[in-house]
Amino acid sequence: MKIYLKQSFFVLSILFFTVGCEKDFLDRNNPVGTDEANFYQTEEDAVSAVIAAYDVLQYELTPSGHFRWFFGDVVSDDAIKGGSGDNDAASLGRLERFEGQATNELVQSEWLASYKGIARSNIVLERVPDIEMDINLQVRLLAEVKFIRAYFYYNLVTIFGDVPLLLKTLSPSESDQARTPKAEVWAQIEKDLTEAIPDLPRRSQMPLTELGRITQGTAQAMLLKAYMFQSKFADAQPLAEAIVNSNEYSLDPDFANIFTQQGENGPGSIFEIQYMNASNGDWGRFAEGTLTNVFQRARGQFGGYGFNIPTQDLVSEFSTGDPRLAATIFQEGDQMGDRGVFTKAATGQLHDYYAKKYFINSSEEAPTGDPNVNGPSNDRVIRYADVLLMHAEAAYHNGAEGAARNSVNLVRERARGNNPPFVVPPISVSGPDLLQAIYKERRLELALEGHRFFDLVRQGRAGEVMRAHGLNFVDDVHELFPIPLTEIQASNGAIIQNFGY
Amino acid sequence: MNKLILISLIVLCFSIGAYAQSIAVSGVVSLEEDNFPLIGATVVEKGTTNGTQTDIDGKFLLEVESKDAILEVSFIGMKTEEIPLDGRTQFTISLSENYSTLDEIVVMGYGTQTRSKISGAVSSVSEEQIKSTSITRVEQTLQGRTPGVNVIQNSGSPGSTLQVRIRGIGTINNSDPLYVVDGFIVGGIDYLNPGDIESINVLKDAASAAIYGAGAANGVVLITTKQGRIEQTPTITYNMYYGVQKPWKKQNLLSAEQYAILSNEAHLADGRTPLPEFSDPASLGEGTDWQDAIYETAPIQNHQISIVGGSKLSTYAVNGSHFSQDGIVGGEKSRFKRSTFRVNNSHQIFDKLKIGNILSYTHIKRNGLSENNEFNSPIIRALNMDPVTPIRKPDGTFAYSQYSDTDITNPVNALELTNDLWTTNRLVGTIYGELEIIKGLKFRPTFNLDVSLGTRDVFNPSFDLSDDPVLSDAPAGEKRLINNVLQEDNKYFQWLSENTLTYKKTFRDKHDFTALAGFSIKEWQHVYHGGTKSDLRTNDPELAVIDNGQDAESAISWGGKSDFAEISYFGRLNYEFNNKYLFSVVGRYDGSSRFGDNNKFGFFPSFSAGWVISQERFMQNIDLISFLKLRASWGTNGNREIGNYEFAAPVFAGQNYTFGTDEVITNGSGPIKVSNPDLRWETSIQSNIGIDLELLDGKFNLATDYFIKNTTDMLAPAPIAGFIGLDATTRNVGNGLNKGWELAVEYQNRDRPFKYALGGNITFVKNEITSLGEGGDPISANFLQSASGNITRSEVGFPMFMFYGYETDGLFQNQAELEQHAEQSGAQPGDIRFKDLNNDGVINQDDQTFIGNPFPKFTYGFNGKLEFKGVDLSFFLLGVSGNDIYNGTVRYDFTYVNRPVSELERWTGEGTSTTVPRTTLSDPNQNARISDRFVEDGSFLRLKNLQLGYNLPKEWLKRMKTKEFRVYISAQNLFTFTKYSGLDPEIGGGIDRGFYQQSRTYLGGLSIQF
């Protein structure tokens, strides 16, 4: 009996021996990922942190859909939602009919993605300056994320108006942030871009392997957009001229070539969000491709989802023979690349037109992985023609009609290509007709590239045009979209909803 | 740490033993009813482990140690007799029928308890009940038999899991109960062969479950596998059944003719020209029945052999089984095969020391289909594919549809091309020792291993249904030009060491104490890696391995690992006074690596008490009532199934971008979510009060319980402002409440040749979310593609996962009605009128409300068994009442899908219909939005099982030297009474996205025991 007691006591004492080491035993960290305390230490970390900010530019379905063409084109008079019917992506339908509610996930998605980009920029601006590294690289990286932060604030201020202006990382408890008046947001956008411009390399200094990085011209053009949206024409015109005179950019002689795979990062490319088809990505797994290709392609045998359907109104706007029509829009009977001839029967749908600028051949699809999430096409955000047309518009408002006409005609001349002069002839009108001509040129040149709705808003014509398009557009309400309800709730009411929602 | 386990095992090696002088006694045990010898009755010298079993003639021979010994003679279902030797050595003993289950030993977690002394709420399923239905998974035995336990099939496909919910759902997160097999906490019980099970006990109230602390909030299911008994004569049993399965229901869909008529009408309604090929609908006839095309009659079979027995010092149970089931959809494409073997042994190696092992190995092959989703499941395709398209072209190759869209591809072709095989090899083993240190004090060390290797092999062959391969005219979903293969390996490894000390002592014959103290330590790890590659030379699935992929660029690999660890201390004290007053106190102190740094350990206490009223003097004269007990309990449990590392917020790689003309991926890393060092278990506090009653010596018994279960610290996404720029983390913010009442009654009579037993049970559970934290927003979930919205919403003050959408108010019969109504964008006469619930004059998202509840008001079961002269008939009915099902089986987001025949009742002009809207191509009014139109009553009553059996008479058996010979036929899911218009109302989660229905199965079986 004694012997048992002794042995048992021994065992029992072992049971409690673990008390000493149980803390270690229960400490388990995720083997995937790095602890934040060990990050932001090296030059490599700095580069990696900046790339994470770039990454947000690619977001399209994170957390849900918020393509630039949703707001720029589908909402505008240039396109309708499309898809397989009214029940397909119905929330986009509500957005396009200005029934956008504060609970619409597309609005929330735009907000969340923009602030993700801003948060990742902020953390770089806070942590990277302390990293010991190559000073030239450090300066350039900081300038790049200042651009990225400005870009996302531009998105926010143009979609929502006043938004919380956050320039440092916040803890989750700091959620009672009120909206900052948009003038201050604009001021910050201008400040970030102005600071970034001198620190950024020129496009011509970029090695081919680095194409797609933010350049001086990118930041200048973004600043130009910011001036234009605020109708700061006096500032805009000289800035546009500075971009022109930098001789960094030129118009691709072949308009149609811009939207091909070969045309990516071409001579007129100022800012393109980069996508690639060979990242082997999958739904949810690190895809570097775009979904725009599949979303905009016709359904049926063409294998797309058939969104962003051009309107008759847009098609009719093109003058006879304008080669840009065929480069912008597919009409029935057109050859859809190597995917066959466009007939309604082959699409299984009743739409007369499809968007073409982001069409890709089946031979250009992702060689591996799911081709739908691995679309190759870069998103052409700012083109040189856009800068010329902004210049024209600013110059017109500044009374420089000659300069305005000149810029428009450069764009038209390129559009004409090798056609005889009566095709897309130069314009010679002046006064309000000139302004209308500039507006029209913008619409045609930049059609289905995500600009139209915001152009109409900044030009003060949104109500007039959208109502003519048969939509229930209320002035001073529908220029902006509602603040997501979740944000109002999360801020404990510090955020006030936009007027009219 | 490993050292520790080793040392605790060394203890097993110490012991000494000796045997005293003995007296030989012998006799015959028979059945009182017919004087037939009882084979396998247990004869034990009372108070010792010395015992034997009767042989084929009912005879026994036993050496007892003392002349004052008392023989304890027992047999399952019989009253135990205690016979003093009184100087005799020869005995003739007859046992009589025992109706009472009060003396049953119930496994309670780290110990056992006599049923009559349990003060918590515990339900049991016996081997007898398990045997009466031919089940394929262990969870099915709980279905409809145990009040308070709701078991719903997640899918009808072979090998699919079941949803087990004990006393409702306690949390919006993981609501699965804890499974404990032979004392070992396991993750999932799919590896178990139902034929290996001896008993199942369900700990429902917090006090009973509290010994499992942070694992117990969703209840505990304790499973005990078959063991041999000391001195049991070797028993060899062979069981088999074979059967066929068929779908029990088909949905009525439009014929090709009807489809064409509606298509023409829709085109005209939208100002379009009808399709020319539909100009003469009548000529199209019935068209293709895609449901017939995917369903088939599928075989099911099971074979099992078991050998059980024991010597004076050792016991053994060896089982082997093989089960195979084809699917009613796709046959071998959803085949499930399971082979198991199990060896349970125990040895009294020394007088005071027993050791044992429980070892099982399971091999599972499961061919998977895409199920229960509206995108690519065969069912959703069969329901939505137009009836005009033939299955095959005239040349015999598969046809594609000119009308269907994207997801809705030829389901028969898609089934043929599916190759998705899961292979699992799982070894679960336990070794244990039991050392009696001093009389009444037992030390029990155990060590368990659970190793599971899971591999997945997917092969997607290349194909092209185009009529002209050059034009490649088939839609994207009907061709895959390059084949690809995916292979993935998963390794799960868990070890668990548990050591308990139990001390039992009775003072003055009246005060019974049992004390338990224990320590448990556990580690779990999952390692996985996988890869894919494209362009294999052939489409032969046998050659589908990664190295046969020829496209080097296409290779992708992934891998990772995940782990957790747990440490627990626990204790229990039971005190019984004179078998009349019962008290129990339990506490468990649980630590887990899953909890945040600020909350690594939690304490879970509980108390329970019972009063056996029938033991009181004033009850002694009431003959009717043989047993009456009042029970009450209170306790706290936790739910630690909150995911690994959820508290942490690491910087994740993979936030990449691409630069340059060569498009090179540049790596990016950034934080993704917020950390939460306070993260901890979900807590559930439950009070229970119950009554156990037996009348007429146990012929009638009843158990009823009322409970209130409060869940606090429920994990919910904490509302975090999006401008923080990080994803929300989950925090312990929510509260939920479940209240319920359950009742089980049974009446049996086996006194006459006609024997019968009838039982029934019913459970009412009411669920409510009482908090989602400060400013806690409702949580929307369960996105439905065809309506592009979430179906469910969990909101404070309402049950969890309620359906949330618009209320309909008939149809707009004319323009005037439309104009009178609130502004409803896109509406035309014939469209659905939605209610303007907030009276703001416009129909929008603010008009949504709760439109249905997926959880039943009550669930119930009936079972019965009738026997007459060797013939027996048993049945089992399952009922669910008051729940709703959201019928989301029509892909309204596509224009040309097929529809249910009910759409023929469509509105075609004023007064033609008040329920089915007009036909259109594009649905501008969004008649398909989430609304009460698709919410249906999901109540059903189903004859789950009906079995007719015949046992050969005992005289014959004796001549054949056989203990049992039984043949039976049975039918499963023979009748279902429901109003639900979809395929199957027995559906997990209440949302029908094209549910893989349960089959109607006819079986024939055989059982022989030697």
The DSSP-derived string for B921-989 is SS-TT-TTSSBGGGEEE--EEEEEEEEEEEE--HHHHHHTT-SEEEEEEEEES--EEE---SS-S--GG
**Among the listed residues B393, B79, B84, A141, the one whose alpha carbon sits nearest the alpha carbon of residue B401:** B393
Strand partners, B872: B867, B949
A:B CB pairs within 8 Å: 323
In a domain, B59, yes or no: yes
pLDDT digit string (tens) for B101-145?
A: 788 888 888 988 888 889 899 998 888 777 777 788 888 888 888
**Among the listed residues B573, B560, B456, the one whose alpha carbon sits nearest the alpha carbon of residue B518:** B573
Top mean pLDDT of A7-16, B42-51, B947-956 is at: B947-956
pLDDT reported for residue B16: 35
A90·B652 Cβ contact <8 A: no
Cα distance between residue B281 and residue B269, in whole Å: 17
Which residues in chain B touch residue A24, judged by CB atoms under 8 angstroms apart? none
Say whether B202 sits in a helix, a strand or coil. strand
Residue A117, both tokens: 């980009």
B896·A348 Cβ contact <8 A: yes
Does any CB of chain A come closer than 8 Å to the CB of residue B671? yes
Minimum-distance CB partner of B895 among A7, A85, A288: A85
Does any CB of chain A come closer than 8 Å to the CB of residue B841? no
pLDDT reported for residue B469: 83
pLDDT digit string (tens) for B304-350?
A: 999 999 988 999 999 999 999 999 999 999 999 999 999 999 999 99
Provide DSSP, B5-54: HHHHHHGGG---------EEEEEEEEETTT-PBPTT-EEEETTSS-EEE-
Tell me how close the Cα of B61 comes to any Cα of chain A, in angstroms.
32
Cα distance between residue B568 and residue B365, in whole Å: 35
B658·A23 Cβ contact <8 A: no
Does B18 have pLDDT greater than 70? no
Confidence band, pLDDT 50/70/90 cuts, at residue B20: very low
Cα distance between residue A256 and residue A253, in whole Å: 9
Which residues in chain A touch residue B473, judged by CB atoms under 8 angstroms apart? 301, 340, 346
Give the dihedral sign, CA A402/A407/A411/A417.
positive
Which residues in chain A touch residue B15, judged by CB atoms under 8 angstroms apart? 4
Domain carrying residue B64: 2-95
Which residues in chain B touch residue A125, judged by CB atoms under 8 angstroms apart? none
Tell me how close the Cα of A307 comes to any Cα of chain B, in angstroms.
13
Residue A252, both tokens: 């691709």
Give the dihedral sign, CA A30/A31/A37/A42.
negative
Chain B residue closest to A30 (CA)? B645
Does any CB of chain A come closer than 8 Å to the CB of residue B384? no
B435·A302 Cβ contact <8 A: no
Strand partners, A357: none
Chain B residue closest to A93 (CA)? B924
Say whether B698 sits in a helix, a strand or coil. helix
Tell me how close the Cα of B511 comes to any Cα of chain A, in angstroms.
25
Q: Give the CA radius of gyration of chain A.
A: 26
Tell me the average pLDDT of chain B.
90
Which residues in chain A touch residue B644, judged by CB atoms under 8 angstroms apart? 28, 30
Cα distance between residue B306 and residue B164, in whole Å: 28
Does any CB of chain A come closer than 8 Å to the CB of residue B629? no
Which residues in chain B touch residue A486, judged by CB atoms under 8 angstroms apart? 719, 722, 777
Amino acid symbol at B84? P
Number of domains in chain B: 1
Cis, bond preceding A367 (omega within 30 deg of 0): no
Tell me how close the Cα of B234 comes to any Cα of chain A, in angstroms.
35
Which residues in chain B touch residue A39, judged by CB atoms under 8 angstroms apart? 651, 669
Half-sphere exposure of residue B667, counting CA atoms within 13 Å on the CB side? 7
| Average pLDDT for B687-707 | 93
The CB density around residue B622, as the number of other CB atoms within 10 Å, is 11
Say whether B316 sits in a helix, a strand or coil. strand
Amino acid symbol at B646? E
In a domain, B233, yes or no: no
Cα pseudo-dihedral B171, B173, B177, B182, rounded to 10: -140
Which residues in chain A touch residue B406, judged by CB atoms under 8 angstroms apart? 84, 299, 305
Is beta strand B90-95 parallel, antiparallel or unpaired with respect to B23-31?
parallel
Confidence band, pLDDT 50/70/90 cuts, at residue B99: confident
Chain B residue closest to A107 (CA)? B722
pLDDT reported for residue A10: 55
In a domain, B596, yes or no: no
Domain containing B88 — which CATH number? 2.60.40.1120
Does B547 have pLDDT greater than 70? yes
The CB density around residue A39, as the number of other CB atoms within 10 Å, is 19
pLDDT digit string (tens) for B504-514?
A: 999 888 899 99
Given a contact cutoff of 8 angstroms between Cβ atoms, the answer to whether B794 and B779 are in contact is yes
In a domain, B613, yes or no: no
Does any CB of chain A come closer than 8 Å to the CB of residue B826? yes
Chain A residue closest to B2 (CA)? A18
| Average pLDDT for B399-413 | 90
What Cα–Cα distance (Å) separates residue A67 from each residue in A101, A107, B1008? 18, 11, 68
Minimum-distance CB partner of A85 among B644, B659, B921: B921
Which residues in chain A touch residue B558, judged by CB atoms under 8 angstroms apart? 285
Does any CB of chain A come closer than 8 Å to the CB of residue B276? no
Which residues in chain A touch residue B595, judged by CB atoms under 8 angstroms apart? 26
A15·B592 Cβ contact <8 A: no
B663·A340 Cβ contact <8 A: no
Chain B residue closest to A62 (CA)? B727
**Among the listed residues B175, B174, B131, B184, the one whose alpha carbon sits nearest the alpha carbon of residue B150:** B175
Does any CB of chain A come closer than 8 Å to the CB of residue B470? no
Tell me how close the Cα of A213 comes to any Cα of chain B, in angstroms.
7
Q: Where are the alpha helices (DSSP H) in B270-371?
A: 290-294
pLDDT reported for residue B4: 45
Tell me how close the Cα of B558 comes to any Cα of chain A, in angstroms.
10
Is beta strand B730-749 parallel, antiparallel or unpaired with respect to B700-717?
antiparallel
In a domain, B48, yes or no: yes
pLDDT reported for residue B717: 73
Does B170 have pLDDT greater than 80? no
B565·A170 Cβ contact <8 A: no
In a domain, B27, yes or no: yes
In a domain, B753, yes or no: no
pLDDT digit string (tens) for B238-290?
A: 999 999 999 999 999 999 999 999 999 999 998 888 999 999 999 999 999 99
B656·A30 Cβ contact <8 A: no
Per-residue b or e along B333-361, where b marks 16 or more CB atoms closer than 10 Å to that residue's CB: bbbbbbbbbbebbbebbbebbbbbebebb
- Which of A295-299, B765-769, B955-959, B973-977 shows the lowest mean pLDDT across its residues? B955-959
In a domain, B26, yes or no: yes
Cα distance between residue B955 and residue B935, in whole Å: 59
Which residues in chain A touch residue B592, judged by CB atoms under 8 angstroms apart? 26
Q: Residues A460-469: contacts with CB within 8 Å, 24+ apart?
A: A465/A77, A466/A76, A466/A77, A466/A98, A468/A77, A469/A77, A469/A311, A469/A313
The ipTM is: 0.93
Please give the backbone phi and psi of residue B210, each rounded to the nearest 5 degrees, phi first.
Answer: -60, -20
Domains identified in chain A and CATH numbers: 42-199+476-495 (1.25.40.890)
Cα distance between residue B209 and residue B606, in whole Å: 9
What Cα–Cα distance (Å) separates residue B172 from each residue in A478, B188, B209, B512, B715? 38, 20, 20, 42, 8
